[in-house]
Amino acid sequence: MSGKITFLVDNRAEKPFFSEHGLAMMLEIGGKRLLFDTGQGKVLFHNAEKLGISLSGLDALILSHGHYDHGGNLAKVLSLNPAIHFFAHPDCLLPRWSLQPGKSPKQIGLSQENKAAIINLSSRQLHWCEKPAEIMPGVWITGAVPRKSCFEDVGGSFYQDEIGNIPDMLFDDISLWVEGESGCTVICGCCHSGVKNTLDHIVSQLNGMQINSLVGGFHLLHAKSERITKTISCINETGIKRVVPAHCTGDAAMVRLEKNLDAEVQPGIVGLQVEI
């Protein structure tokens, strides 16, 4: 199956596009149009208009996890697509907080408006994905990713309460893989589950199919050098040929990925199209 991915929202953009801390990608595959995440809320519609991409008439909307920078436009997009199918893990509705030393607690979950828009979807449209599932021919969703790697964590001080009593393991962090003619493409939102955990989980489902491309946010922004080194080794060992790091990957990690990966590396930016 062939198709393409277009970056609509990313931390990097050049005129006439706008950037923000967020991510959204349009997938056009097999005659279907899928929106993967919706950005923080400020730039999605502007960038889509400049790219000549309509955000109505979508077949599916996939939410990688319940953080504000990935689901900021959910209510509006859903209202424009009354028959759309929505895919996510049910934990995306949990309360979310970021606690940083010397800073006030920051609420980082989905807004009440966006949560309500999800909850009010019909049972025909709302698909909770806790396990791997084929959401359309050749397009798979990971469901919750097992956390087996000893060097990976969620990548930040995340909690389900504002005083830090309930750690948030972000079990709703999900990714996609798309089966192509010569291999598959893995598409991540933030990869809070860890790149190795995510790739290992997908490989276990592939029956020997090769992963050719890895695209999206890898959440290495605050990662220590050792974690970045082991992530690079994992990607190289998997035999991936093309890597498109974006959003929360972080500048330092991007430099090291470009220098040390065996794969072709092309950093994500608004307007970039990646062939599947």
Residue 131, Cβ density class (10 Å: 0-12 exposed, 13-18 middle, ≥19 buried): exposed
Given 3-state DSSP classes, what are the helix, strand and coil percentages for the chain, each rounded to the nearest 5? 25, 25, 50
State residue 48's pLDDT score: 98
pLDDT of residue 182: 81
Q: What are phi and psi of 165, to 5 degrees?
A: -85, -25
105 φ, ψ (degrees, to nearest 5): -55, 135
Handedness of CA 147, 188, 84, 20 (dihedral sign): positive
Among candidate residues 270, 268, 266, 248, the one with its CA nearest the CA of residue 257: 266
Edge to edge, the sheet with strand 106-107 lists 106-107, 97-98, 158-159
Calpha distance 256→272 (Å, rounded): 21
Dump the DSSP string for 65-119: SS-TTTSTTHHHHHHH-TT-EEEE-GGGGS--EE--TTS--EE-S--HHHHHHHH
Please give the tally of structural domains in the chain: 1
Continuous segment of H or E residues that includes residue 242: strand 242-246
pLDDT in tens, the chain (276 residues): 789 999 999 999 999 999 999 999 999 999 999 999 999 999 999 999 999 999 999 999 999 999 999 999 999 999 999 999 999 999 999 999 999 988 999 999 999 999 999 999 999 999 999 999 999 999 999 999 999 999 999 999 999 999 999 999 999 999 999 998 889 999 999 999 999 999 999 999 998 999 999 999 999 999 999 999 999 999 999 999 999 999 999 999 999 999 999 999 999 999 999 999
What pLDDT does 125 receive? 98
CA 106, chain centre distance (Å):
21
Domain encompassing residue 79: 3-275
Percent of the chain whose pLDDT exceeds 90? 96
Burial 81-97 (b: 16+ CB within 10 A, else e): beebbbbbbebbbbbbb
Q: What is the pLDDT of residue 143?
A: 98
Question: Judging by DSSP bridges, how do beta strands 139-141 and 133-136 pair with one another?
Answer: antiparallel
> How far is the C-alpha of 11 from the C-alpha of 219, rounded, in Å?
13
pTM of the model: 0.97
Q: According to the model, what pLDDT value does residue 181 have?
A: 82
Token duo for residue 191: 């990869």
H or E element that contains 246? strand 242-246
- The pLDDT value given to residue 248: 97
Q: Looking only at Cα atoms, what is the longest distance across the chain?
A: 51
Q: Which residue has the tokens 């990925």?
A: 257
Q: Which residues contact 87 (CB under 8 A, 6 or more apart)?
A: 60, 61, 62, 63, 127, 129, 135, 141
Between CA 38 and CA 158 the distance in angstroms is: 21
Q: Which CATH number goes with the domain that contains 134?
A: 3.60.15.10
pLDDT recorded at residue 2: 81
Q: Is the peptide bond preceding residue 16 cis, with omega within 30 degrees of 0?
A: yes
